[in-house]
Structure 1
Amino acid sequence: MALITLTTDFGLKDHFVGAVKGAIYSELPDAKIVDITHLITPFNITETAYILKNAYKSFPKGTIHIIGVDSELSVENKHIAIELDGHYFICPDNGVICMIASEVQPAKIVEINIHNHIESSFPVLDIFVKVATFIARGGKLDVIGKEIQSHKKLIEIQPKVNQDRNLIVGGVIYIDNYGNVISNISKKAFDEIGKGRDFTVTARRYTFKKIFNKYNEIVNFTSEDIRQYDGSKLALFNTAGYLEIAVFRSNLKTVGGASSLLGLRYRDTISVEFHEEEKPDFTTV
């Protein structure tokens, strides 16, 4: 049974999601369809890349992932199919795949060329579904397109490191349902550049000298009332391995979240400055 996932910015109000699922079932009645999300911020490629990176590995090898964000075909936005890490991805070549492909080398990339026979203003429905169901039936990527050697990269996915390697300048790439703010600064980069040095994380006018690994590490459980920690600001490395600015037990309808309380928005700067150890002064007078 073919397993096909859908990740789009279509929302749930309109007919788009239902039409895509109907087209899949028409081509492949025994398909199993899983919605990763249809609530991507419209045209937000970075947000899509982050969600996809953290979702796809939970699916079995051979899963086919349809990505419908900024998918309108143009000279600058071609359609590609990728075999990567045992999975298949059908998507626009707009950088959406680069967060996964930066860690795992694609086995094959093809530029989809079946557009010569199909004219469409809804490519996810008319093109991506046909490609996905073709692959699900055992079809090879070479049949649907010409092999290419590269895909588009997103510059904003990668943080910048200064020449002295004592400053990482990143930015907000995603804000989750709790209002937690995720940056593009990975724990791997933090460890490699920081090398155990003291640091200061800065997000707007807020600074953090400690990074947690879990939200509740900020709590002293011997306290009589641990509710006093609700709403506390903290920095942590989340389960995806990225630096996150959060609020403990945040609730956007009550105490607020990091995005609202700290005034952080998509693409805002988050930086980490590493401090050199002070060397003892052995000068004698």
Structure 2
Amino acid sequence: MTPIITLTTDFGEKDHFIGAVKGAIYNELSDVRIVDISHGISPFNVIEAAYIIKNAYNSFPKGSIHIIGIDSELTPENKHIALLLDEHYFICADNGVMSLITSELVAEKQVVINIHDRMESDFTDTDIFVQVAAHVARGGTLEVIGKPIKEIRQLTGFKPVVNTEGDQIIGSVIYIDNYGNVVTNITKRIFEEVGKGRAYEISARNYKFRAIYDRYSDAINFDIERHRREEDGKKLAIFNSGDFIELAIYKSNPLTVGGASSLFGLRFRDSVTINFL
């Protein structure tokens, strides 16, 4: 099977970096398939990258190799790691970017990469991450390019907080998508475990939500004639495709009518609270 290597970076589309990484991969593996997951991550935003890679990786075949080029400069406090997890390979910096996945799954193998002294490197993702990806794609094991480690870095403050009475979840905004929809760190699992079927109210700044839908269109009453529906600009909360609570505007467009982020005044790390009644 032709190996698949995915790329998730904060490089953007303007500069030469993405092309350089792909060229380096093709120099090592002429028959590889390269897939871009995203190059639009906000610069150095590890939480945003963690959300995107968690929701994308398992759409790929088992054995896929995922290079994550976010905040990846090698420093004494920012080692390079490689993991075999859920039958996928991940190559990244030990900066917490794997936190969302490792909070639910245990890695079969995880190593700190130790091949840096074997090569000169000015561009981490091209020289080191690509070499590791090529090694794995050829059937190599992680133990050859790294030393096994027991723990990797977890992002602090990533998980929502449940109060001691068990009737409140305090979460925060971890991602704002292309439509301006606001994704929180409150998962459906945590919501159901704490809520136990109770009524609830979601608060975000001055906005309240008392229902969570499974799809955007579930918030619209299609039995009402179109011109009488509450449709354009309707605010809603849903469990999105990754099972995170998301606050949205139905059919929003940040460039015209605005999105949930701008209309609700919500930004990255802002608080979102659920009170159970």
TM > 0.5 between the two?
Answer: yes
CA contact (8 A) 1:180 1:244 kept: yes
**Counterparts of 1:253 and 1:43, CA distance in 2:** 25
Task: Write the letter of the residue equivalent to 1:248.
Answer: Y
Partner residue in 2 for 1:271: 273
Q: Which has the larger radius of gyration?
A: 1
Counterparts of 1:112-261 in structure 2 under 5 Å?
112-225=113-226, 228-261=230-263
Structure 1 contact 72–121 (Cα < 8 Å) conserved: no
Q: 1:130 offset after TM fit, Å?
A: 0.3
TM-superposed CA distance for 1:101, in Å, is 1.0
Greater CA deviation, 173-182 or 250-259? 250-259
- Conserved 8 A contact 1:201-1:271: yes
Secondary structure at 2:224's aligned position in 1? coil
Instruction: Tell me, yes or no, if structure 1 residue 4 matches structure 2 residue 1.
Output: no
Query: What is the DSSP-based 3-state SS (H/G/I as helix, E as strand, rest coil) of the residue aligned with 2:107?
Result: coil
Match of 1:85 in 2: 86
1:281 matched residue in structure 2: none
Q: TM-score, length-normalised on structure 2? A: 0.97
Q: How far apart, CA to CA, are the structure 2 residues paired with 1:150 and 1:249?
A: 42
- Aligned partners of 1:11, 1:263: CA distance in 2, in Å? 26
The alignment partner of 2:71 has SS state of coil
**Aligned-residue offset at 1:43:** 0.3
CA-to-partner distance for each residue in 1:136-171, whole Å, 9 max, x for gaps? Answer: 001110000110011100123210111111110000
Q: In the aligned structure 2, how far is the partner of 1:244 from the partner of 1:2?
A: 34
Amino acid at match of 1:252: P
TM-score computed with the length of structure 1 as normaliser: 0.95
Q: Distance in 1 between matches of 2:99 and 2:124?
A: 21
Give, as a single letter, the amino acid of the residue that structure 2 aligns with 1:219: I
Note if contact 1:184-1:242 (Cα within 8 Å) is conserved in structure 2. Answer: yes
Task: Give yes or no for contact 1:247–1:257 (8 Å, CA) kept in 2.
Answer: yes
Aligned-partner Cα distance in 2 for 1:174–1:43: 13
Residue 57 of structure 2 corresponds to residue 56 of structure 1: yes
> Is the partner of 2:275 in helix, strand or coil?
strand
Q: Which runs of 5+ in 1 are unaligned?
A: 276-285
Deviation of 1:216 (Å): 1.0
1:271, 1:155 → 2: CA distance?
19
Number of paired residues? 275
Superposed CA RMSD in Å reads 0.9
Q: Residue 264 of structure 1: CA displacement?
A: 0.5
Partner AA of 1:73 in structure 2: L
